[in-house]
Amino acid sequence: MERLRVIKNERRQLRGAGGEGRRELHREKPSVLRMVRALVWYALRVPPRELRLDLTLSNGQCFGWQRSPSDESTWIGVVGPRVVALRQTEEDCLFRCLGTARTAAPVRADDAEALVRAELSDLFQLDRFIAPMREEWSASDPRMQSVCAALSGMRILRQDPVECLFSFICSSNNNIGRITGMLQAIRRTYGERIPLSEPAVDGLRLSQDDFFAFPTAAALAAASETELRDLGLGYRAPYVLKTAETLVQRGDGWLGALRTARDPAYVRSELCGLMGVGPKVADCVALFSLDQADAIPVDTHVWTIACREYDSSLRSCASLTPEVYGRVGALFRSRYGSHAGWAHSVLFAAELPQFSRFLPVELQDELKRNAAAEREQKKRDREEAGRRRIAKAEAKAAKQAEAQAAAEQATAQEVAGGEREGDEPPALRRTRGSKRQPVADLGVRTPVGKTNALSRRRAARTGHAKDGGDGSVSSAACSEEEAGLTTVVASRHRAK
């Protein structure tokens, strides 16, 4: 601390010196400015009630920030082409730039602080104040008042749309650890490495190979599916590849232009046209990067909140169909207005175990009771679903058995009917009135050595078949007209 105080004094001297005096100080102590820039933290000028890093960077909306193991108040991540360190204090949020990509636009040293401050203000949307939102939400939902008070300072980020889109494509059916690993592998393979100007932050050693800018859509489109699968993306590999190709085809500005749309349903439909993007992923991208503050990503957790707090009739819905998805989103928007997505995220975070310690004891107990009741309900639902499956299988088996018995009975009646009539076997009755007639009706005689198989099968069923001696087959069950016609044809053949 003493060293930092001395450096700050030197910095004040440099600022207060005139032109010639400042140049003299630069000549005498050329390392002072470098030391100041390396060690000083800049104030973001936002109080904890408006921004809490621990609540904002770990609630599942982003996956690229690392918490310092030696100081839990310090976070390190990549913002655009820069590696940035953030620190939470009791009065403010501090920041410093640790490195910049070589391809980034050059910036004067005196302008670097203002540039990084502007980038962070945009990322955290510091132009939107949370306090008025909390008052509006609490007026429509008393329970929300205690949740907001406990999780004050949780904000929605305004991330880069390309990075946010591919992050949430990788998030489907996944957990935070694996998502983070996938995205780091993508950055390391296709992104630009950002060299660090500082090897350590407050005792935390940093590697020069740990920080990369997120790749462009063009860089991902040039990848192969095999490469992406080797990075651990699995079935998501073709989704990433095809979506990257689509973004390249539509141009650099297409995705970012969705920020100007004022209808979250329209933004969702546009995003759902991309491979690997469903309604939930689309609403996450819309809320966390495309300025759609009333977008509501709905999953089973959010559906559970809606069932418990707003509309118990949703429990009768068997699955999260598009209609049910829309109903849940409409419930949140009707209660929380234009920033319903922000309110939804606060309620969602309150249900997460890592944030329960911030909640009042009575609210923790309530959430535990709710969780226990939901587990019991899920158990009953599973048992009921099992009973329905068994009943359905039994009904299907009974129906099949009934159909088989009916078929056997019909066959028995058909055979019995043929025996009673005697002169007209069932096979001949089935062909009556059809265009296809028995062989005898057509006056066709089977050549020697090539007995008609159809006639032989008829004879076998009736037991009345006998050989005509010359290879022809006659049946005693045929009508007199058929027998006579067969005899005439046979006589003509012998006469030849």
* Residues with a known catalytic role: 280
Give every strand in the sheet of 42-43, ordered side by side: 42-43, 93-100, 82-88, 74-79, 66-67
Cβ proximity of 141 and 40 under 8 Å:
no
43, 44, 108, 118, 206 from 113: Cα distances, Å: 10, 10, 10, 9, 22
Using the structure block, give the residue that is written with the tokens 């068994």: 390
Helices and strands per DSSP (H, E), number in the chain? 22, 9
Q: Is 77 helix (H, G, I), strand (E, B) or coil?
A: strand
Q: Where are the alpha helices (DSSP H) in 290-440?
A: 300-309, 322-336, 340-350, 361-421, 426-431
Query: Are β-strands 74-79 and 465-467 bridged in parallel, bridged antiparallel, or unpaired?
Result: unpaired
- Residues 6 or more apart in contact with residue 225 via CB below 8 angstroms: 237, 238, 241
Cβ density class 394-408: b for 16+ within 10 Å, e for less: eeeeeeeeeeeeeee
Extract the tokens encoding 115.
């540039």
For residue 86, the 8-state DSSP code is: E
Instruction: Give strand pairing partners of 75.
Output: 67, 86
Cβ density class 16-52: b for 16+ within 10 Å, e for less: eeeeeeeeebeeeeeebbebebeeebbebebebebbb
Type of residue at 188: R
User: Roughly how many angstroms between the first and final C-alpha of the chain, as a whole number?
Assistant: 128
Extract the tokens encoding 5.
């105080």
For residues 265 and 270, give the distance between their C-alpha atoms in angstroms, rounded to a whole number: 9
Cβ proximity of 303 and 381 under 8 Å:
no
For residues 72 and 75, give the distance between their C-alpha atoms in angstroms, rounded to a whole number: 8
